[in-house]
Amino acid sequence: MTKLPSKRTIIITGASAGIGLAAARELALTDRVVIVGRSKETIVFAKELGVEYFRADFSKLADVRRLADSLLEICPKIDLLINNAGGVMKSITTTKDGFEQTFQVNYLAQFLLTNLLMDRLIQSKAGIINTSSA
């Protein structure tokens, strides 16, 4: 008897719209998907897709740290991390963490999340995909 492959665990940030949501829709058909978004719509999409979700605002590094702790708690293995959260802010704003908001959301938060999950990612032999748009 052929053993079917087990579902992969895939984490997608910025999954409330656009590329992240489209990826979540497609991957949820065959894999365990955990979506992350800052908007309340994340909850609606998670229920629609039947996936797990977390709300996190990447303009707050404390949210990123809490997210990493939660993901490590529920994901003994992570097969793929898709860093897709990002945006272009209308004006130059400094976050409470002291960084320019676009830089923090698009780069620093992604780097921090990946770094906080690194041991689990290495242990799982995970892949990492970073998206960017202008």
Q: What is the CATH number of the domain that holds 35?
A: 3.40.50.720
pLDDT at 116: 99
113 within a domain of the structure (yes/no)? no
Give how far Cα 103 sits from Cα of 2, 78, 109, 120, 124, Å: 48, 26, 9, 26, 29
* pLDDT beyond 80 at 133: no
- Please state the domain count of the chain: 1
In the predicted structure, residue 3 carries a pLDDT above the cut 80: no
CB 126, CB 81: distance < 8 Å: yes
Per-residue pLDDT at 39: 86
Please tell me the predicted confidence (pLDDT) of residue 111: 98
- 108 domain residue, yes or no: no
CB atoms within 10 A of CB 46: 23
In a domain, 51, yes or no: yes
- 71 has pLDDT over 60: yes
Tell me which residue range forms the domain holding 14.
7-90+126-134
117-127 per-residue burial string, b: 16 or more CB within 10 A, e: under 16: beebbeebebe
Look at residue 84 and tell me if it is in a domain.
Answer: yes
Q: How confident is the model at residue 33 (pLDDT cuts 50, 70, 90)?
A: very high
Does any domain span residue 59?
Answer: yes
Residue 2 inside a domain? The answer is no
Give Cα 33 distance to the centre of its chain: 10
Residue 65 counted as domain residue: yes
